[in-house]
Structure 1
Amino acid sequence: MSRWLFDLGNTRLKAAPLGADGRPGAVLAIAHDGVDLAAELDRHLPPSIDAAAVASVAAEPLRVALLQALATRCQRISLASTARQWAGLRIAYADPSRLGVDRFLAMLGARAEGPGAVLVCGVGTALTVDLVDADGLHRGGRIAPSPALMREALHGRASQLPANGGVYRDFADDTDDALASGCEGAAVALVERSLAAAAELLGAPPPRLLLHGGGAAALAARLPAPELRPDLVLEGLARWSAAASPVVAGTDAA
């Protein structure tokens, strides 16, 4: 049985076959800005898929485009959504629908790795931080711009400031490095403060720190004992899909 996982973010689509061990296989990443998504899927996917599980935080037109492209080759499609409780994870939000499904799935993926408290940090378009205690209770989180988005925002308001480039230094002596240092440093400080606050809240040593997303590796060197999990959302989606109810392709999948 051919089963695939799809994580549609604000910048990239990540896709992977679901292996016999219940985990994602080799991951395909497509930057979807200005790309014909259906044509890209035709290039990289098999012509027929038995089942697909989809998680999306992208804009509605892009989500619809993905589902329509999948409906031409897929017999069953499951669209993930945030649940109040799932597989021992309990969400802090009073209205779970307001918690992004990517954050929900990343926490599911983190819980699947074993017991103990964990701080789950996603570094993509946004920087997200979520604390899950040893009992599986989500204690809440934070959302901020990622370093890349900070750079883009500065460039948008002051075009003389480059949108990328530079290297991290504690005290930079040129503008490119100062921008890289300031934006990365702001993200690092938020994560470090979250780790300290988690230790205070739980009355224990700081929790494990899991980093995922396209910008995770750039921050890892400046954080205490991080564990890189670039495909944590797909890991959680694999766990979610094991008990999900499919939508039949060709009906209202879009």
Structure 2
Amino acid sequence: MSTWLFDLGNTRLKCAPLRDDGSIGEVVAIAHDDAGAWLDALPTGEVACIASVASDARRVELLDALCARFARLHRVRTEAALGPLRIAYAESAHLGVDRFLAMLGLCGAHAALVVGVGTALTVDLLDAAGRHRGGRIAPSPQLMREVLHARAAQLPAAGGEYAEFADDTDHALASGCEGAALALVERSLCAAHDLLGETPSLHLHGGGAETLRARLPAHAWTPEAVLLGLARWHVLRIA
């Protein structure tokens, strides 16, 4: 029986087959658009597990298309507790399913700071027992640039190189927006050490994380964190 995992974000869909040993196969990334052509690239199989943080309209498009390609669909939602993971939110529905799954996929025997960089920048702290100790949400560097450009069109929405003290506006924008993200992660690591008495391992994922990696402390790069969480969800809930 073939099972596929689907992670529908705000700009693209990532999907991968689930192997018999619980690992994920080759990941396919598909940018979605209003024309609907992206749906033609969907795979077929028996079981589909879907997590979505996209708009309701985009999610319905995907579910309708998958109904014609799969015998069973499972839409994944945030849960208060699953496996070793215990989330901090009193209302589990308030925690995005992408954050929930990234933590589920990465929680283990060690404390971890899980940072995702997409449309938003999210930071979540897990202790060694799998308890979620809370998190933060901020605009990603790219979103900061886009918002600044929308409010002041003379400020470019992209471009520039990072510098500690930039010598032109393009570079200053890149440095300020990326620097804000770096500072948030570094501050979170310090606060996590104060809370737990140890420095957690840093785990990074998300399409916008690449530009930050060179200036962050030692970390694990796990771009498929949400799909790994979906695989673990399937083992705990379906297998």
- Same fold, TM-score > 0.5, yes or no: yes
**Range into which the TM-score falls when normalised by the shorter chain:** over 0.9
**In the alignment, residue 153 of structure 1 is paired with which amino acid?**
V
- Is the alpha carbon distance of 1:16 and 1:172 closer, same or farther for their aligned partners in structure 2, counting shifts above 3 Å? same
Counterpart in the other structure of 1:83: 79
CA RMSD of aligned residues (A): 1.3
Counterpart in the other structure of 1:183: 177
Counterpart in the other structure of 2:226: 233
TM-score norm. by structure 1 comes to: 0.91
Give distance in 2, aligned partners of 1:162 and 1:33. 24
Give distance in 1, aligned partners of 2:153 and 2:24. 41
Give distance in 1, aligned partners of 2:103 and 2:236. 16
TM-score norm. by structure 2 comes to: 0.96
State whether residues 88 and 134 of structure 2, in contact with CA within 8 Å, keep that contact through their aligned partners in structure 1. Answer: yes
Aligned residues: 239
Q: Deviation digits for residues 67-103 of structure 1, max 9, x if unmatched?
A: 0000011001111011111011001000111000000
Q: Among all aligned residue pairs of Structure 1 and Structure 2, give the percentage whose two residues are the same amino acid.
A: 63
In structure 2, the gaps of 5 or more residues are none
Counterpart in the other structure of 2:98: 102
Counterpart in the other structure of 1:133: 127
In structure 1, the gaps of 5 or more residues are 247-254
Which runs of structure 2 are paired with 1:54-93 in the superposition (5 Å)?
A: 54-93=50-89
Classify the secondary structure of the residue corresponding to 1:63.
helix
Classify the secondary structure of the residue corresponding to 1:187.
helix
- Is the alpha carbon distance of 1:226 and 1:35 closer, same or farther for their aligned partners in structure 2, counting shifts above 3 Å? farther
Give distance in 2, aligned partners of 1:166 and 1:100. 32
**In the alignment, residue 40 of structure 1 is paired with which amino acid?**
W
In the TM superposition, residue 216 of structure 1 has moved relative to its aligned partner by 1.4
State whether residues 163 and 172 of structure 2, in contact with CA within 8 Å, keep that contact through their aligned partners in structure 1. Answer: yes
Give the alignment partner of residue 194 of structure 1, picking from 181, 188, 193: 188
State whether residues 127 and 144 of structure 1, in contact with CA within 8 Å, keep that contact through their aligned partners in structure 2. Answer: yes
In the TM superposition, residue 20 of structure 1 has moved relative to its aligned partner by 2.3
Q: Deviation digits for residues 110-142 of structure 1, max 9, x if unmatched?
A: 11xx41100000000000000000011100000
Counterpart in the other structure of 1:25: 25
The higher-RCO structure (CA 8 Å, 6+ apart) is 1
Give the alignment partner of residue 222 of structure 1, picking from 215, 219, 229: 215
Further displaced range: 174-183 or 12-21:
12-21
Counterpart in the other structure of 2:39: 41
Give distance in 2, aligned partners of 1:190 and 1:43. 37
Give the alignment partner of residue 161 of structure 1, picking from 152, 155, 158: 155
